[in-house]
Amino acid sequence: MPIDLSPIDKAKFVAAKRAAQFVESGMKVGLGTGSTAAWLVKCLGEMVREEGLRIKGVPTSTRTSILAREVGIDVITLDEAKWLDLTIDGADEFDPQLNLIKGGGGAHLQEKIVATASDQMIVITDASKSVETLGAFPLPIEVIPFGWQTTKSIVEEALIGMDVLGRDVTLRMNGDAPFVTDEGNHILDLHLKRIGNPRQLSFVVNQIPGVVENGLFLDVCDAVVIGYGDGRVEVRDIHEGTITEDKFDFLGDDNIFGDIAD
């Protein structure tokens, strides 16, 4: 259908298009969750249908699983795959060391499990997610429903000794009810403003009974693909220490990506 992509959607699209080039036939691929990851799933679906790409996709959420099947990707579970060649996912923030905050979509538990069961993790994003220090985006932690208010109080107490600028903790809501993850849990959002020591924070938070997992992804990401609204794409590889650039031309009137919303 005819579309007029906004600059941010152009940035997401070209990042996804470039990241799809890392995928080869025969791979088992972790499929991330969120608006940017949805572009990637659509791109891979097009490659499956039009180029004969053969992959097994392991989704990180129910909504990604539904989309992957809709576009023709062969979906399997992580238990079936056992280990993945590559995971491609978005991020809410990334720093110069490619440490991440994820979980804005409420899927960081499955996303972290899938990413750490992969030979390589590539993050697709736009330049607005780049930060010098993590923490402006609220850090999500998944908690079990039982005793969540007590868990919240213990988290707040633990934050007193952390190198952070803010300590507000809120229960994520979905309308009038608590947000519920695919695993049936709740999410507490930690409004920290700046995280001075992510490793310490991650370790301390994960020791609290009732906490399942936090949204800090440390030493997991291998490369980040950054899209820009003018079609430029930058690939930063943390291991090679390289930055490469490409550029994509835009998009004719007929394409399959017009139905992806932020």
Dist. CA 140–CA 187, nearest whole Å: 6
Question: And the tokens for 237?
Answer: 């590889």
Dist. CA 31–CA 23, nearest whole Å: 11
Name every residue whose Cβ is closer than 8 Å to that of residue 154 and which is 6 or more positions away in sequence. 208, 209, 210
Whether 111 sits among the annotated catalytic residues: the reply is yes
Q: Give per-residue burial for 173-204: e unless 16+ CB within 10 Å, then b.
A: eeeeeeeebbeebbbbbbbbeebeebeebbeb
Catalytic residue among 46, 93, 111, 142: 111
Q: Virtual CA dihedral for 99, 114, 92, 168, nearest 10 degrees?
A: -90
Catalytic residues: 111
